Structure 1
Amino acid sequence: MRGSSKSMIASGSLSRSTRPRRKWLRRLSVFVAICAAALLIWCLSIYIMIVRFDGVPKGGKPLPSDVGIVLGARLWNDEPSPGLKERLDLALKLYRNGTFHDLIVTGGLDAGGATVTEAEGMRDYLLAQGVPEQSIVMDSLSRSTYENLIFAQDIMDSRDWHTAVIVTHSYHGSRAADIARKVGFDPVQVSVTDSKVLNMAFHESREVLAYTKWLLMKPFL
């Protein structure tokens, strides 16, 4: 009996000692589940903003403006990548229909062995399409969308330009518009093109992260 009693006491003590641990693990599991759900909701809301954007004004039909601003993207062998050509072709369409008569092309030197800046590659493409050199102004220093728009704004100020149409891809347009509002573009006008050449699953997923980073940085800028 004594041995049985000792065994029961030991078992009871062990059970009581594991209860706090189990309670803590349950709380941790609930906390992790809540965080995961919140993260999923956040990512989904950003994704919806990205994929539903179709320009500012709605439908991407901008008013005549002083200048078009083409946001930079990667070069391939010192020439605009197929994706960047889509942005440039939209800018050319707007230029040719008289929406603006001058262009700012933005983007610095890519990593990975590029020998010309994104802006230089874009300028060369536009020249080959018949745009006169005096109608193209380069920002060859910027390394982000925020810098693209800040430096483009400096160029506008130096040339007494007041209105602009920002040109980019649809997946990038919502963030570009929000950055433009933050840095003081008024009115904000963004014309966008859908891509037929980019891996949209990759770029939209990446844009969710980039948009999240921007929203975290925004209050401190």
Structure 2
Amino acid sequence: MTATSATGRGGGPLRWVRRLLLGALLMGLVVVGGTALHVWQVARIDDYSRADAIVVLGAAQYDGTPSSVFEARLDQAYKLYRKQVAPMIVTVGGKRVGDNYTEAASGKTYLENQGVPDDRILAVETGSDTLQSVEAVSKALLARGKSSVVLVSDPWHSLRTRTMTRDAGLAAWTAPTRTGPAVYTRESQAHGIFRETFALLWYQLTHFSADFKYTADQ
């Protein structure tokens, strides 16, 4: 009986460590799962409420020609503009080393070719990731007395973009593109939700961006 009690006492702390580790693991799974669900829920939202501006998040461009990902976003922004959701469109994004054009400039040219007047497009040629882009847009719009935006990106990018934009001082909601490589297959959708779940958790934890070169088109 004494030996059994000693063994029990010896195993007690180890059992508590195991329980704590298991509890931490389960809590982590709940947080990750809940965030993934929220990413999915916001991805399904199409809010066409009136705003001061439509903001198109940049993506890759090739010598002034938008990639398929970027083109899908620009087409959605043009659709919103035609529906009079906002009187102006903001394109945003800088350029990589060796590029002749910024993402913002190539997006502006694309929209002008669709018939959007030059004075209805603001090109914010700054930003190499989502956080830099939304902060640059917020600064530019607030300086012009604009305070509300509808954000256009890929569906899975919506929640993180909206979170960052609101943190930057703008009222923001989302109307993402429903076309393009980001939504073609279930695999691309699952990849987008997975990536954005951890990118959002990282941002909420550190307030730094977690954008990496995960596809050539992005």
Q: Above 0.5 in TM-score?
A: yes
Q: Which residue of 2 aligns with 1:211?
A: 200
Structure 2 Cα separation of the partners of residues 32 and 115 of structure 1: 52
Any stretches of 5+ residues in structure 2 without a counterpart? 183-187, 209-218
Q: Which residue of 2 aligns with 1:4?
A: none
Deviation sequence 1:27-62 (CA, Å, 0-9, x none): 55444433322222111111100111157xx64121
* Of 75, 100, 104, the match for 1:115: 100
Call closer, same or farther: CA 1:194–1:34 in 2, change over 3 Å: farther
Aligned residue runs from structure 1 range 133-144, under 5 A = 133-144=118-129
Aligned residue runs from structure 1 range 33-182, under 5 A = 33-54=22-43, 59-63=46-50, 65-76=51-62, 78-110=64-96, 113-182=98-167
For these two proteins, the number of residue pairs brought into alignment is 198
Other structure's SS at 2:87 match:
coil
Letter in 1 for 2:26: A
Q: Tell me how far 1:105 sits from its aligned partner.
A: 0.6
Other structure's SS at 2:75 match:
helix
Other structure's SS at 1:192 match:
coil
The answer as to whether partners of 1:127 and 1:133 remain within 8 angstroms in 2 is yes
Structure 2 Cα separation of the partners of residues 32 and 77 of structure 1: 52
The answer as to whether partners of 2:60 and 2:66 remain within 8 angstroms in 1 is yes
Deviation sequence 1:112-163 (CA, Å, 0-9, x none): x543221122122212222222222111112232322221122223333343
* Of 183, 189, 213, the match for 2:168: 183
1:193 is aligned to 2:182: no
Other structure's SS at 2:59 match:
coil
The answer as to whether partners of 1:110 and 1:118 remain within 8 angstroms in 2 is no
Structure 2 Cα separation of the partners of residues 74 and 45 of structure 1: 31
Structure 2 Cα separation of the partners of residues 94 and 59 of structure 1: 11
Q: Which stretch of the first structure deviates more once superposed, 97-106 or 29-38? A: 29-38
Call closer, same or farther: CA 1:77–1:28 in 2, change over 3 Å: farther
Letter in 1 for 2:181: V
The answer as to whether partners of 2:48 and 2:85 remain within 8 angstroms in 1 is no
**RMSD of aligned residue pairs (Cα, Å):** 2.8
The answer as to whether partners of 2:76 and 2:177 remain within 8 angstroms in 1 is yes
CA radius of gyration, larger in = 1
Any stretches of 5+ residues in structure 1 without a counterpart? 1-11
Other structure's SS at 1:194 match:
coil
Q: Tell me how far 1:101 sits from its aligned partner.
A: 2.4
Call closer, same or farther: CA 1:129–1:38 in 2, change over 3 Å: same
The answer as to whether partners of 1:74 and 1:110 remain within 8 angstroms in 2 is no
TM-score (norm 1): 0.76
The answer as to whether partners of 1:74 and 1:81 remain within 8 angstroms in 2 is yes
Other structure's SS at 2:79 match:
helix
